[in-house]
Amino acid sequence: MKPNSSGKKVAVLISGRGSNLASLMDAADGSYKIILVISNVAGVAGLDRARDAGIATAVIPHAGKSREAFDGEIDNLLRAANADLVVLAGFMRILSDGFVRGWEGKLINIHPSLLPAYKGTRVHERVIEAREALSGASVHFVVPELDAGPVIAQASVPVHPADTPQMLADRILAVEHKLYPEALKLLAQDKVKLQNGLTVFS
């Protein structure tokens, strides 16, 4: 796509407070514009943040639906909005292989660990239990296997001996808020792409 005044159209999928969504909204420059926020949970703070900024929102509950049916509803909204890129920001559902393949190279996530270490849940608990000296955040392309996609950008933070999981989560969240917009800008400016299963910079 040729760059234009408003840049790539970005849809953000959330399930909760939306602090990463807020950092992406604040950092939006000419390279991307957030045009739609979809949540699977009604009433979450992230939806309020979007509405307050005049961004279109939608709630698609997942309960009682097959994964494919749920993902299909999301896909329909994304296509109707002409989204170029889809950003997962605290979206707590696993997406079906079909959905992921349909958005291959255009779908990214942020995970609060130094991937490929500590995929999945209870990340900070496990990092502390293992007495790691470093943890951090990773932005990656989404592939069907959970948290296994090629990494676009990472940032590390120290793990202190007295850390609780919440303390570590907060320290990592602060770097997420810088890392995610930078990674999204690279993608929006076509400076990074997914090619043959690898992250390629140009």
The residues assigned a catalytic role are 111
Among 17, 62, 119, 178, binds ligand GRF (CB under 6 A): 17
* Only segment of 48-56, 65-73, 106-114, 160-168 that touches ligand GRF (CB under 6 A): 106-114
| 112 lines the binding site for ligand GRF (CB under 6 A) | yes
Instruction: Detail the DSSP E strand segments found in 48-191.
Output: 56-59, 85-88, 107-111, 134-141, 151-158
Reference 78, options 47, 38, 105; nearest CA is: 38
Reference 13, options 62, 54, 53, 52; nearest CA is: 62
The DSSP line for 20-50 is HHHHHHHH--TTEEEEEEEESSTT-HHHHHH
Q: How far is the CB of 18 from ligand GRF (least distance, A)?
A: 5
Q: Which residues make Cβ contacts (< 8 Å) with residue 48, sequence separation at least 6? A: none
Among 55, 110, 184, 188, binds ligand GRF (CB under 6 A): 110
| 19 lines the binding site for ligand GRF (CB under 6 A) | yes
Number of residues that bind ligand GRF (CB under 6 A): 14
Residue 35 or 87: which CB sits closer to ligand GRF? 87
Among 41, 117, 151, 173, binds ligand GRF (CB under 6 A): 173
Residue 106 or 171: which CB sits closer to ligand GRF? 171
Instruction: Assess contact for 44 and 15: CB atoms under 8 A.
Output: yes
**C-alpha to C-alpha distance for 182 and 184, rounded to whole angstroms:** 5
List of residues contacting ligand GRF (CB under 6 A): 16-21, 46, 89-90, 110-112, 173, 176
